[in-house]
Homo-oligomer: A and B are copies of this chain.
Amino acid sequence: MIVLHGYTGSGNCYKPALAMRQLGVDYQWREVDILKGESRTAAFLAKNANGRIPLLEVEPGRYLAESNAMLCYLAEGSALLPVDRWARAKVFEWLFFEQYSHEPFIATIRFWVAIQKSAEAQAAKIAEMRPKGYAALGVMEARLATSAFLAGDRYTIADIALYAYTHVADEGGFDLAGYPALRGWLARVAAQPGHVTMAEAAAR
């Protein structure tokens, strides 16, 4: 059975778990406490030299890192990853947007504020990063004003990837009031068949 090494409350870990639930793929969640440095031990580094979670163990000893690579791997051949070349390209575009323009600001601020409780120590960085997080939300809002889902009219792994940290952006102090199309999309994603919450996804 697939083992997902992850930290409960991590949006990156939530992504492959949610995809597996919706794809009907069974998995076992194995908790890695990043606050205790468990992703930086020699044992863990032997599995992923980059020292990060999530880590997908597709069979004993065979590891895949990078949450969005997991989404591509898991969704291949399913409706969550279109076959059409252009539609696929747009899915990839959103996946890379998420890791470069969204996650480093929205997920990082949430981590400091809600998980590590270090907002005061990180105040200067948060102030610098906050506008970049809102800029990413603005790019999503513009797209979702004219499209039901990010990559087109169907739910794909692009939506899973962006939902992971957008739906908890408020925990990092982001106010979504001015993003009505984005809030409508959050509701549509949460209403997808097989959708589970972050906590449910980790309880396996």
The answer on a CB contact under 8 Å between A69 and B50 is no
Stretch in A23-31, A89-97, A191-199 touching the partner: A89-97
Nearest-CB distance from A100 to chain B (Å)?
5
Which of B49, B64, B66, B85 is within 8 Å of A76, CB to CB? B85
Q: Is the interface of A mostly helix, strand, loop or mixed?
A: helix
In Å, the complex CA distance between A90 and B49 comes to: 14
A142 beta carbon closer than 8 Å to chain B: yes
Which of B50, B69, B86, B93 is within 8 Å of A95, CB to CB? B69
Residues on B with C-beta less than 8 A from A22 are: none
Q: How many residues of A contact B (CB 8 A)?
A: 34
In Å, the complex CA distance between A64 and B94 comes to: 10
Nearest-CB distance from A183 to chain B (Å)?
18
A143 beta carbon closer than 8 Å to chain B: yes
Which of B49, B70, B86, B100 is within 8 Å of A99, CB to CB? B100
Max count, chain B CB within 10 A of own CB: residue among A62, A69, A104? A69
The answer on a CB contact under 8 Å between B93 and A143 is no
- Those 4 A-B pairs whose CB atoms lie nearest each other, nearest first: A69-B92, A73-B89, A66-B96, A69-B93
28 contacts between A and B (CB under 8 A): A49-B142, A50-B97, A50-B101, A52-B101, A58-B86, A62-B86, A64-B93, A65-B97, A66-B93, A66-B96, A66-B100, A67-B96, A69-B89, A69-B92, A69-B93, A69-B95, A69-B96, A70-B89, A72-B88, A72-B92, A73-B86, A73-B88, A76-B85, A95-B96, A96-B96, A96-B99, A99-B99, A104-B104
